[in-house]
Amino acid sequence: MIISKNTFQPGHILTTDICIIGGGPAAISLALSLSSSKQNIIVVTGGGWSETAANQDLNRGVVATVGTHEPLEENRRRQFGGASSVWGGRCIPFDPIDFRRRNWVPNSGWPISYDTLLPYYHKAAALCQIGDFAFNAHTVFPAKKREIISRLDTEEIVSYPLERWSPPVNFAKTYQSELEASQTVHVLLDAHVVSLQTLDALDRVSQAQLLMNDQELFIKAGRFVLATGGIENPRLLLASTNERFPTGLGNHHDNVGRYYMAHLNGTYVEVNPAKRAEMLVDFERDGEGVYCRRRWWISEKAQTEHELLNCIFFLYHSYSQDGHRDILFSSRYIAKSLLFLFRQRSVQDLREKTRELLPSLREHCSNVLKNGLAQLPELAAIAIKRLQKRRLPFILPSKTTAYWGLYFQAEQEPNRESRVYLSDSKLDAFGVPRAEVSISFSEADLNSIITAHTLFVNNFRRKKLGEVIYSEDGLRQYLTNQLSTFNSAAHHIGTTRMADDPTTGVVDRNAKVHGLENLYVAGSSVFPTGGHANPTLTIVAHALLLADHLKSTY
């Protein structure tokens, strides 16, 4: 059942077996799995079917050093469906090495293994609608060529790993009918939890205090699951205190909000492959029509020998001036810019952003008008694919473009000084301290990316596979510039990390908060390391693992 209007009296107390706080993929996956049990579930979403200006404002926060992180409301959605209402759909599992203790990666190692999560990855693939859990191109496409660029693969750099793309699934809308029909799951829309209270015992959450249509309500539950994302999870824990946890629930050892990670990404290297007709760079569709794409991965062997963090590459748009001569790039830039302007919430914001974008928009529009006629059929075909239910994920460069960019996405080392904490001066509309972010990177983060690029480029040049534009010093400067204007792309990881030892983590291997009997956390905030992979598929898999644990301990 989905409850969109508040029919409760102020101060009303609802009771349930499990209260799930959150409305994104983690919360909805938990609710769907738990709906088959005999337990009653209440899901508190923190928003409605679409995001309002007031709800977006609740996500505003503080960036400790201006410019070093995007505004906290930029990549988050306070609505039912959460980030799945706007995500692109890229699904990639973590690699087995991500779960292991690596002696060159401080604070690495999960208390659960890849094999523990593997059966839940298969179930997560179904929920994300990406077809089979099959990520090896050699088995999915056995009749096709085995490499992205012939002869480039080595023991250190391989191109058989696939990414698979969801339609993309909006979890709220896709699973609305199942939640509506459930006799055990009740979803409260536009309800906001402002604190977790421990009235009966200091080691047990008694109730959640929430506001729904400006009325105060309470939910008493046997167990609570916090699933509000990598920034809101620590924020709510830190804002909820008692005599035992005066600095926030689960924060005995000052771990809540620490080890905040995202993914470093960008495009610096430019590549002009010699034999373009033989390249496997386009999206491929498997037997179920799912879009897949290959990427280069730095193998476990190379990661170990060179002491690297996990990293992948794929060919993408070059962001040099040549990008302005790529019709597909220009078309994509124009479309995304207009959509961005459409989403501005005030006339003043619209004017400011238009002034900022106008020079580039003029150049790209001129490019399309002067050079786009010959590519109109290709543009039309792409537009049709982008409008389908299972849409083309994104537009790749034209085959005739001068250079392709080598896009990278890399793991960030767990860093205790990288953190989310409470602002000491800013409050939201409900009087809750806003989140403040201070993200920190290490030399190892940059050095690992540079070494990975050097391995790729040296191999490319040694085999004389075409032209490549690259310098280590140039890449280091590029990365330094990237960090001064960092954007997390909504990959908020590690702020309530999982560890068997309460001195080094916030939750245990079952995702239960250390020192509390009935409070659990779901989502990427529990990940001890971030790998290179977009987190959604692993978020869903872990939520399903947690759901089974909650069923087995009922």
DSSP letter for each residue of 134-166: --BHHHHSTTS-S-SSTT---SSEE--BEEEE-
Q: What is the pLDDT of residues 205-215, one digit of tens each?
A: 999 999 998 89
Q: Residue 343 pLDDT more than 80? A: no
pLDDT at 502: 96
* Residue 226: Cβ-neighbour burial (10 angstroms; 0-12, 13-18, 19+): buried
Chain centroid offset of residue 455 CA: 27
pLDDT at 177: 95
Average pLDDT, the chain: 91
Percentage of the chain exceeding pLDDT 70: 92
Residue 431 per-residue DSSP state? S
Region 409-430 average pLDDT: 96
Tell me the CA end-to-end span of the chain in Å, nearest whole number: 22
427 contacts 433 by C-beta, under 8 angstroms: yes
Nearest CA to 179 out of 191, 167, 171, 169 is that of 171
| Strands of 75-226, DSSP E | 90-91, 157-158, 162-165, 185-188, 191-197, 207-212, 215-226
Beta bridge partners of 263: 411
d(CA 159, CA 162): 8
Q: Which stretch of 37-46, 330-339, 368-377 has the lowest confidence by average pLDDT?
A: 368-377
Instruction: Assign 243 to helix, strand or coil.
Output: coil
Nearest CA to 478 out of 441, 444, 454, 449 is that of 449
Backbone angles phi, psi at 447, to 5 degrees: -60, -35
d(CA 280, CA 314): 11
Q: What is the pLDDT of residues 73-96, one digit of tens each?
A: 988 999 999 999 999 999 999 999
pLDDT tier, 280 (very low <50, low <70, confident <90, very high otherwise): very high
Q: What is the pLDDT of residues 470-517, one digit of tens each?
A: 999 999 999 999 999 999 999 999 999 999 999 999 999 999 999 999
Instruction: Assign 190 to helix, strand or coil.
Output: coil
Q: What is the pLDDT of residues 504-528, one digit of tens each?
A: 999 999 999 999 999 999 999 999 9
Region 64-72 average pLDDT: 92
d(CA 23, CA 130): 21
pLDDT tier, 305 (very low <50, low <70, confident <90, very high otherwise): very high
Please report, to the nearest 10 degrees, the dihedral formed by the alpha carbons of residues 297, 130, 228, 68 taken in order: 30
Instruction: Assign 371 to helix, strand or coil.
Output: helix
Q: Residue 375 pLDDT more than 60? A: no
Six token digits for residue 474 = 């140039």
Structural element, H or E, at residue 424: strand 419-427
Q: Which stretch of 111-120, 335-344, 466-475 has the lowest confidence by average pLDDT?
A: 335-344
Nearest CA to 45 out of 237, 141, 176, 144 is that of 176
Structural element, H or E, at residue 277: none
pLDDT at 324: 41
Six token digits for residue 130 = 């990406």
Q: Residue 369 pLDDT more than 80? A: no
* Residue 346: Cβ-neighbour burial (10 angstroms; 0-12, 13-18, 19+): exposed
